[in-house]
A and B are shown apart, each in its own frame.
Chain A
């Protein structure tokens, strides 16, 4: 029995499907692709699958992963991408399968690129307005958590936005991610929206995941 980490993209129209639908899609491909997957041995046996850091709906992802367990140790995992892609839509494509090197609990950061726009506002102006927010003492937004509503200051994350030197409102940003602390970029954008009283359109791409020491999650 071996654990295998399957790496895939989630882009285009597939960014609009929920985690549950993604799970169904991947399982279908795993089963039909003939992967010797291990089934749980409980009352309702089901394939054992975990997603180390599930992605939210609406975000493109370049490097997602899913962990499965296979029962046949002689199975050549390099055939996994082609075996599964046959049953996957163009927006979800497996590009690699590896033996996991790190436990999912070591995921601490995720890197995103994003582009913002607002109807009727020039991108350049929008960028300046957002940069102006960094002069404030705090940018508070309420977040729903298990314990009820909670105030969060997203100012550090706005400060962390690394804007491109051009006339677009595009940036890259690294945010806390994982089990212990997780900040969703749409939440930060929502806070900006509230502060600027603007309705923002965004496209976000999750680029990669890192450990606490900023090493790539493998």
Chain B
């Protein structure tokens, strides 16, 4: 039996923490004969093994690509700093886990972009592999660097580095591009010719084919395609969730990862339309999998992996049209074979007795709800559509059911927020504590612990708040302080996010191409793992911005006018800009918008002619 990693790697493995992250060889990992495959695809996750291996998108595409005999898709993760240090010292290039081969041997190097602060990891991984960072410096038709994932909704800050961005869902477009590559290579076409042809595929964005001009104030003057590339890049979307590829097996990690369990995706999209939520707008319309498909997939996954826990994945699980029916048929199977079900992303108004009784697990860990804002006015402004009495009722149900830990997620820095709204967070936390002691059937002899977590709001592209100014670091710090002082009980644990991390996230979330030089400089300075407190150095970042002559506040803290050309305007997710503007106006007036099942608000996503847009609407009684 061969060792997957090289002798050089073996020499350093015992000198690093958790070496099991760097060896491959897990159950169900796919080994092929490299001489018998036609296309080699390195699927790179720009974070640690534990984070990347928990990511469903990677599992889906890994299995799907490998279901073709001529493609070998392998996994690559960002080595932690100790491993990176030794790899650089011993000149070991970044390698893929299945073959142990360096990334330079791959046709495609694909990144999934889930988080803006992982951009430096993308560049650092290329650099560790000895691959030129800039797209223009990679001239041959190999080592094509592609990227997909949520953050491609504004790909511009990475425009100089990535050859091809995939917009929307990857199951179809990725394979179309791989096929085009094979054809171009057979016909001895150049990389440039390949890119021009690729740009014609729906859902593909080739940044080098677009020309951007700027006004004197730094805003965009024009954004124009060249070489026949489309003016608008349309997202790709899978409409038939029952027949789209879904893996029947996962790679089972040898070391513990963040989410070490089987996952079944029950639907994509979200009916709610919370105005801050990017995923809710990017993934419209809601498309559900049938109960039969979900059950089938859960069974197969547990059988092939040995997992005894299944998590149902979606943006808001309790919004699955027939959630009780689904849980009933799943629990019939899971009770039978000792599998436990977990249901993340539960809405406050979705946690009913019915659901609770179905997901009872042996150990009662905490329940998590996300009211997002402290007062009704602000919850209406962000269209969260959750009322305080609903939250308290839900907590009552949970407390009666034996739970004593409740986590509440909030955001501070939301548009139109005042200090009163911030105080409202503390008051709501207190109200939950009081509800516990009012609850007759609470666990006797035990106190309650309410965790209040406040993250800082970052305006994201393609949402109604895409024009908003993000709160400055000072404002956030003040609000955090104010909130901390408003909490008077020890039953509430208060957590909050570092304000300067959110600031940097905001800069890259709504950045343009001018930020490429900032990222390049950051990469040259060896920045990595900016999403991790151990590595994030805010002052060093500000230094880089200064050296590049770029003011980060231009991107984060500036309110845009509705008629400004935004860097991501050329991408269409099916939701019209008019709708986003109207939603923004409604936010200012604290007027809510009904969810997709109650009433269609004509966002534009009906253009995909499927999902919830064509669902028969029941006359729901409210």
Contact = CB atoms under 8 A, between A and B. Distances in A.
Interface in A13-45: 13-14, 16-18, 20-21, 24-25, 28-29, 31-33, 44-45
Interface stretch (B24-32, B269-277, B543-551): B24-32
Given A24-B256, A91-B25, A13 B20 contact: yes
A184 B462 CA distance: 59
Contacts of B14: 16, 57-58
Contact of A16 (B1, B19, B256, B362): B19
B306 A12 contact: no
A89 B20 CA distance: 12
Interface string B232-268: 0000000000000000000010111000000000000
Given A12-B1, A13-B5, A87-B306, A20 B23 contact: no
B20 A17 contact: yes
B599 interface: no
Interface in B354-369: 362-363
B362 A21 contact: no
A31 B254 contact: no
A89 B306 contact: no
A28 B306 contact: yes
Given A28-B307, A31-B338, A12 B254 contact: no
Contact of A13 (B4, B11, B306): B4
Interface string B217-241: 0000000000000000000000000
A127 B305 CA distance: 45
A56 to B, nearest CB: 10
A45 B338 CA distance: 14
A37 to B, nearest CB: 11
A198 B2 CA distance: 29
A24 B254 CA distance: 9
A86 B10 CA distance: 27
Nearest to B13: A16
B303 to A, nearest CB: 8
A13 B27 contact: no
Interface in A28-79: 28-29, 31-33, 44-45, 57-58
Interface residues on B, range: 20 to 34
A21 B307 contact: no
B19 A57 contact: yes
B491 interface: no
Contacts of B362: 44-45
A201 B11 CA distance: 6
B185 interface: no
B254 A90 contact: no
Given A12-B3, A87-B306, A21 B27 contact: no
Given A18-B20, A201-B11, A87 B308 contact: no
A98 B486 CA distance: 63
B27 A12 contact: no
Nearest to A46: B362
Contact of B25 (A13, A29, A86, A203): A13
Residue among B23, B25, B256, B338 with the highest chain A CB neighbour number at 10 A: B25
Contact of B27 (A17, A33, A89): A89
B26 A16 contact: no
A21 B23 CA distance: 14
A29 B20 contact: no
Contacts of A24: 256
Given A44-B363, A90-B1, A201-B11, A16 B308 contact: no
Contacts of A29: 306
A50 to B, nearest CB: 20
B252 A21 contact: no
B83 to A, nearest CB: 12
A17 B49 CA distance: 14
A17 B19 CA distance: 7
Nearest to A87: B306
Interface residues on A, range: 20 to 34
Contacts of B27: 87-89
Given A90-B1, A201-B11, A13 B307 contact: no
Contacts of A14: 25, 254
Nearest to A202: B14
Contacts of B363: 44
Nearest to B3: A12
Given A12-B3, A44-B363, A201-B11, A89 B308 contact: no
Contacts of B22: 16
Nearest to A45: B362
Given A18-B255, A44-B363, A201-B11, A90 B306 contact: no
A43 to B, nearest CB: 10
Given A25-B254, A45-B362, A16 B306 contact: no
A203 B4 CA distance: 16
A115 to B, nearest CB: 12
Nearest to B22: A16
Interface string B292-332: 00000000001001111000000000000000000000000
Nearest to B31: A90
Interface in B1-60: 1, 3-5, 10-11, 13-14, 18-20, 22-27
A90 B308 contact: no
Contacts of A28: 252, 306-308
A203 to B, nearest CB: 8
A33 B305 CA distance: 11
A18 B5 CA distance: 19
Contact of B23 (A16, A25, A201): A16
A32 B27 CA distance: 14
A117 B256 CA distance: 32
B25 A89 contact: yes
Nearest to A91: B25
Contacts of B26: 89
A16 B20 contact: yes
A31 B252 CA distance: 15
B23 A13 contact: yes
17 contacts: A12-B23, A13-B23, A16-B19, A16-B20, A16-B254, A21-B20, A21-B256, A24-B256, A25-B254, A31-B306, A33-B306, A58-B13, A87-B305, A87-B306, A89-B27, A89-B254, A91-B254
Given A31-B338, A87-B27, A88-B27, 15 more contacts: A13-B254, A18-B255, A21-B20, A31-B308, A32-B302, A32-B306, A32-B308, A57-B14, A87-B305, A89-B25, A89-B26, A89-B27, A90-B1, A90-B25, A201-B10
